[in-house]
Amino acid sequence: MQKRILGTSGLEVSAIGLGCMGMSHGYGPSGTKQEMIDLIRAAVDRGVTFFDTAEVYGPFTNEELVGEALAPLRDQVVIVTKFGFQFDSDGKQIGLSSRPEHIKQVADASLRRLGIDVIDLFYQHRVNPDVPIEEVAGAVKDLIQAGKVKHFGMSEAAAQTIRRAHAVQPVTAVQSEYSLWWRRPEAEVLPVLEELGIGFVPYSPLGKGFLTGKINENTEFSSNDIRQVIPRFTPEARKANAAVVELLQAIAQRKGATPAQVALAWLLAQKPWIVPIPGTRKPERLDENIGAVDVDLTPDDLSEIEQAASTLTVQGARYPDHLERMTGR
């Protein structure tokens, strides 16, 4: 497995990470706990060192799963989790909270659930407009000085917010959705990250599964699958967006690869400090995703993809309105 460094932070991780959310949250029924533990450990065996979770996934159960899976391998991996949501006494998410005292409580709780003594990378999951970002960065700075956190990250933040946070506590990485069918970070966020020496971690790099070519207008999702409520996944949008997959399939056929591998290779080719974190619950998909590091897209390939993609208009919003409003702040 190739390695990459997130910006100028010195934090080295595998070129492909593993997003663990879907193992306990968001995409319908998952496998058994033991199957997911085996999958996480298989990823380490294959050279993956970068594992992404969050308190809100489950909620809480995904951190416990990741912690248990990685406990015997702790010295080989980078464990990432997130703060920024608030829960009621029943564990139901009820809004955002990035008050400094709350951030510190979340850090302690995440450390317990993960069974570790330091969080390698601690993201603000969503920017909270009610708390100045300088206070958020200051709280994480305190956690770093206390030895509970190593690196500060942000998720779905706007360029100017990233600048303000970085001035208080250097930001190691920004995580946002980015793929061939969601390219908004290119406009403002990526240039700021390059300027400031911050790494970029695309989540949903396979378009929540759509870019794999395994989903079409007739695919049915379970009732607890988040794609049920995403406008981009209506049958009409899926039919209209098939052209994006057809583009990937054409390149993949020529390269002896899969559409998913081309989609990931395209991200890797954008910048040397970009590290996508595709999620999966299947060993064969894990192997497929890791294989993307060996797909060499030439300048001509990238130009062809760019030219073809510029003629496509993706149909449907990537989130329902109430979730989209939490991004880009």
Backbone angles phi, psi at 103, to 5 degrees: -55, -45
Question: Would 48 be classed as within a structural domain?
Answer: yes
Tokens representing 183 are: 């390219």
Q: Where are the alpha helices (DSSP H) in the chain?
A: 33-45, 61-70, 100-114, 133-145, 159-168, 189-196, 235-240, 242-255, 259-270, 283-290, 299-309, 321-324
Please state the domain count of the chain. 1
Strand partners, 151: 121
According to DSSP, residue 139 is labeled H
| Residue 143 pLDDT | 98
| Residue 29 pLDDT | 86
Please report, for the domain that includes residue 116, its CATH number. 3.20.20.100
Q: Residue 123 catalytic?
A: no
- Going from the C-alpha of 222 to that of each of 30, 94, 211, 228, the distances in angstroms are 11, 24, 19, 8
Residue 244: helix, strand or coil by DSSP?
A: helix
Question: Would 218 be classed as within a structural domain?
Answer: no
Nearest to 180 by CA among 293, 321, 307, 19: 307
Question: Would 110 be classed as within a structural domain?
Answer: yes
Nearest to 309 by CA among 274, 267, 279: 267
Average pLDDT, the chain: 97
Query: How many CA atoms lie within 13 Å of 17's alpha carbon, on the beta-carbon side?
Result: 28
Nearest to 320 by CA among 244, 226, 237: 226
Question: Would 328 be classed as within a structural domain?
Answer: no
According to DSSP, residue 15 is labeled S
Question: Would 99 be classed as within a structural domain?
Answer: yes
| Residue 298 CB coordination number (10 Å) | 10
Question: Would 323 be classed as within a structural domain?
Answer: no
pLDDT in tens, 159-194: 999 999 999 999 999 999 999 999 999 999 999 999
Tokens representing 13 are: 């991780």
Mutual angle of helices 133-145 and 159-168, in 10-degree steps: 40
Question: Would 30 be classed as within a structural domain?
Answer: yes
Question: Would 239 be classed as within a structural domain?
Answer: no
Q: Which residue has the tokens 């290779």?
A: 265
Instruction: Give the residue numbers spanning the domain of 271.
Output: 3-208+261-295
pLDDT in tens, 24-44: 999 988 889 999 999 999 999
Peptide bond connecting 276 to the previous residue in cis, omega within 30 degrees of 0: no
| Residue 30 pLDDT | 87
Catalytic residue among 27, 57, 123, 203: 57
Q: How big is the CA angle at 162 (ends 134 and 198), to the nearest 5 degrees?
A: 125
pLDDT in tens, 126-144: 999 999 999 999 999 999 9
